Amino acid sequence: MSLTTRTALPLSSALLTLILGALQALMPLSIDLYLPGLPTIARDLNVTSGAAQATLAVFMLGVALGQIVYGPVTDKYGRKPPLLLGLAVYVLSSVLCALAPSMTVLLAGRFLQALGASAAAVITATIVRDLWSGKALADRLSILMLIMGAAPILAPSLGGLLLTQIGWHGLFWLLAIFGVLITIIVTRLPETSSAQERAQTRLRDAATNYLSLLRNTPFLLYILTGACTAGMLFAYLTGSSFMYIDTLDVTPGVFAVLFGVNAAGLIIASQINRVLLRHFSLFAIARSAILAAVVLAGLLLAVVLSGAASVPTLTLLLFLLLATFGFIFPNIAALAFSNVKERMGSAAALQGTLQSTVGGLAGALVGVLAGSALLPVAGIITAFAVLATIFLLAAHRARPTA
């Protein structure tokens, strides 16, 4: 199967991909920039580590709810107007987080910030699916992972370096500024939705459309596979700073470097994926990657149980584990959307909502069960790896036959 686009591109492919990548970076940047500051937030606001970690879980909840709303809205009113509205909410709520005097205000700000960021997440995904399909979609998503992957590499490093200079409040001011810059860039985006489909879409049919998508068994199972992979990722994201800084006694600066090294595994794998797509099927690549994730998660759990956990062993295993995500996410998305022909906004919203919900659940479990402990984090990652494998194999069996 050749790598082809779904339709003619309204801008040059490189420029459009760059703009979409900047939009995609908004979500990971909002998550990763302040991660080195979580222990500091807990101390400054006089709350527990679990309460500080709740700022990530609340963010993922807001993303999940926001995407459900934006999906039908973007099907009805197009891509750009809802996107600009969401970015405005994001900027204002980032300012609220920067000014937060208490954990209650910070949690409220993070929830509103997520509602704004969810517009960028779901509408960017919808635009990509407007323009590409099949292996071309997986290839384009791999490119976007390279662009947005700079966020998890640079953001914790930048956050760790700036934390001692401007404090965690200043990190949120940086997010507000980034939101303003993204809003300006978005004015260059084309409208990629179909005028005919917008005319035929009714917001009151949103629930019916979502139910129809939930009855699409292959689509649902594939996005559940991706959601469980997101569960592994967010269990790591939520617990990483406490595991490295509190348990293994590394400094915030060293944590930022290690976090970037681990994220590099995902980025490198996503680019290798582009080469593999020319020789192997989407399913073959995704299946091999998920089976590798199960093995690596099991090894991580075994190392923790044996008491042999150290900075080198954890970093090696986590680097390889995150690398499997670079093969899983783009190919699972392409497999899922090969089963959807219309209402791309609602489909992208459902995918994003499930990923955010499961990711938020994983983060909440880490906050409640783990604190700074290694074992619960390793156990949660392993459980989601097993579930992802089950859902993928079930999706392959349920796929339509030619």
Distance (Å) of CA 264 to CA 21, 38, 93, 377 = 16, 22, 30, 21
Residue 77 lies in a domain: yes
CATH for 189: 1.20.1250.20
Residue 116 lies in a domain: yes
Residue 1 lies in a domain: no
> Do 64 and 353 form a contact (C-beta atoms < 8 A)?
yes
Neighbours of 190 (CB within 10 A): 15
Residue 266 lies in a domain: yes
Domain ranges, residue 382: 16-398
For the segment 111-123, what is each residue's pLDDT rounded down to a tens digit?
999 999 999 988 9
For the segment 267-304, what is each residue's pLDDT rounded down to a tens digit?
899 999 999 999 999 999 999 999 999 999 999 999 99
Residue 387 lies in a domain: yes
Which residues of the chain, if any, have pLDDT below 70? Answer: 1-11, 148-154, 156-157, 370-372, 400-402
Tell me the C-alpha distance between 6 and 44, whole Å. Answer: 51
Residue 2 lies in a domain: no
- pTM of the entire predicted model: 0.77
Provide the pLDDT for residue 156: 66
Query: Structural domain tally of the chain?
Result: 1
Q: Is the dihedral of CA 339, 73, 5, 285 positive or negative?
A: negative
